Amino acid sequence: MYEKWISYIDVTGHKADELNEMVQIPGPDPAKSTEISLSFAMLSVNKETCTVALDWPVDDATTAETTLGDEVAFSGKMKHCFKLSIGTEQYVAKHFYEIDAGKDEVRMLENTLQLESKILHCEQACWFLGKFCSAADDLNMIIVKSKVLIPD
């Protein structure tokens, strides 16, 4: 069994109730940012069965004060990314803005469910990849591990 912390942005800042999921990048400009409170959830994965459990805290024991950029830093087909810093660590907070309800119709609960679903799928994919690599090793098969670069 292994565990790790994931995060969910609490309702303290003006955008905070609709943001989630973090990836590391350079941080926000303090002059164009909002201070928010970030809550962390515990993700547990059973290494043998791939049973995944996600538990959100019921108190403020796992929160951190963070700085969230006020402007969209990056944007894709379904998500906007805002710069986020937690202490000296820099991340992006992703906000789903279009799923099925149309543009800008994604609310906090739906956004949270999308985050949870994505995390669970990523953990399951990692588990299956590990099992696949182990089975290949057992059969003395070679798995080519290389990056494919696509020219501009």
At 45-84, the pLDDT tens digits run: 888 888 888 888 777 667 778 888 888 888 888 788 888 8
Q: Is residue 25 part of a domain?
A: yes
Q: Is residue 149 part of a domain?
A: no
Q: Is residue 90 part of a domain?
A: yes
pTM of the model: 0.61
Q: Name residue, tokens 């494919």.
A: 148
Q: Is residue 23 part of a domain?
A: yes
What is the per-residue pLDDT for 147? 63
Average pLDDT, the chain: 74
CB 13 within 8 A of CB 65: no
Q: Is residue 148 part of a domain?
A: no
What is the per-residue pLDDT for 81? 82
CATH code of the domain covering residue 29: 3.30.200
Residues 6+ apart with CB under 8 A from 5: 40, 41, 42, 43, 62
